[in-house]
Amino acid sequence: MNAKAFLFVFAVAFLPFLASAQGFAGLGQSSDGFALPDPDTRFSFPDDHGPHPNFRIEWWYVTANLRDKDGVDYGVQWTLFRNAMTPSGTDADQIWMGHAAVSGPDGHYFDERFSRGGSGTAGVSSEPFEAFIDEWVMTGSDPNNVRLHAQGSDFSYDLSLQASNEFVPQGANGFSAKSHEGLASHYYSQPFYKISGTVILPSGEISVTGRGWLDREWSSQPLSPTQTGWDWISLHLDGGDKMMGYRLRDETGPAYTVGTWISRDGTPTPFVPGELTMTPIEWASVADRDVPVGWRVTLPKRDLAIQVEAIYPQSWMSTAVPYWEGPVSFDGTHKGIGYLEMTGYE
């Protein structure tokens, strides 16, 4: 999901006190000196759960679809971004950023944290696994067995995530192309988490269970200059299969749409660009702008034609760089739940 690289680069560039059009110029516009994704690289665990400071950008990204005992839907997000200011690979040249959110019937709660590398307030270690920023943690023996915690001034969650499947490489054995020009990232996922735990909201403490999805990705290449944003979905199909897809919008031409079908045993099948279609069909006014919260998604090769709907259309992240991120449900040839992320609607 290279699109998130775009998000992060600009998130740092647009820290509210540093709002400049140039932004993080030296950083966002080229990859000079940084390591580049290599199609021949193969993942090596547990090392690859840890940071890759020779690459410019990297993240640990968890989304979760949860329900309480009355069947009310909740969405949870936990994200840790790493961004290197220089290719030195030193701690001091890293900037860390955390995003956490809970979407529920009473509203969308979120918080954002920043940290400078080497200060001891953020980092990731692979074995035992721990990713943290401040008191927010994703920690356990390995990423398949973790405690996930984050909080803000008006929300908190503490969840246990378990999975038994292998981690799923995205794209060509983990080499995920982002455009026809060959921009790419290293990308793997864990889409099979089973989750239980508690969420605390202003209305009280709620016991929840559900499913979760981890995305791990690192790269040094930003999007092409003409790519204006993206729409990304991760779907848990009722039969147990998973699907990930994204559409990179381009101001000069058609969107670049790719994804992966992950069968219930964890076998990934990447899509050829254009095989998947994603079309906005319903718009909502969110934070003074129009955002597509209903989508028609088709994948003819698998006879898939569904309408994806945001469960809570107001799941807006008013962070340094704002974006939409929230749980969805879908209906049509297939049914299920999932997560939607949309950026560039500013």
Exposure b/e, 303-317, CB count within 10 A at least 16 = b: ebebebbbbbbbbbb
Q: Spell out, one character per residue from 186 to 215, where the chain touches another protein: x when CB under 8 A holds, - when not.
A: --------------x---------------
> In the range 96-125, which residues lie near another protein by CB under 8 A?
111, 114-116, 119-121
* CB 118, min distance to another protein, A: 9
Q: Residues with Cβ < 8 Å from 288, sequence gap 6 or more?
A: none
For residues 230 and 246, the answer to whether their CB atoms sit within 8 Å is: yes
Residue 20 or 285 having the CB closest to another protein: 20
| Paired residues of 299 in beta bridges | 304
Site string for another protein, 25-64 (x = CB under 8 A): xxx-------------------------------------
Does residue 147 belong to the site contacting another protein (CB under 8 A)?
Answer: no
Helix (H) or strand (E) holding 205: strand 204-219
- Closest C-alpha to 67, from 236, 251, 214: 236
Total number of residues shown for the chain: 346
Q: Which stretch binds another protein (CB under 8 A): 8-16, 70-78, 250-258, 270-278?
A: 8-16
Q: How far is the CB of 80 from another protein (least distance, A)?
A: 14
- For residue 256, give the nearest of 291, 234, 228 by alpha carbon: 228
Beta strand 184-201 pairing with 57-67: unpaired
Number of residues lying near another protein (CB under 8 A): 34
User: Which position among 8, 24, 175, 193 is part of the footprint of another protein (CB under 8 A)?
Assistant: 24
Ramachandran angles phi, psi of 334, nearest 5°: -130, 155
Min separation Cβ 99 and another protein, Å: 14
Q: Which stretch binds another protein (CB under 8 A): 20-28, 58-66, 219-227, 271-279?
A: 20-28
* Side chain identity at residue 230, one-letter code: W
Residue in 47, 154, 251, 346 binding another protein, rule: CB under 8 A = 154
Q: Is 13 in the site for another protein (CB under 8 A)?
A: yes
Part of the chain binding another protein (CB under 8 A), chosen from 71-79, 129-137, 189-197, 283-291? 129-137
The two structure tokens encoding residue 192: 């099979």
- For position 72 contacting another protein by CB under 8 A, the verdict is no
Q: Are 57 and 218 in contact (CB under 8 A)?
A: yes
Helix (H) or strand (E) holding 177: strand 175-177
Note the residues at the interface with another protein (CB under 8 A).
12-13, 15-20, 22-27, 85, 92, 95, 111, 114-116, 119-121, 132, 134-135, 151-156, 200
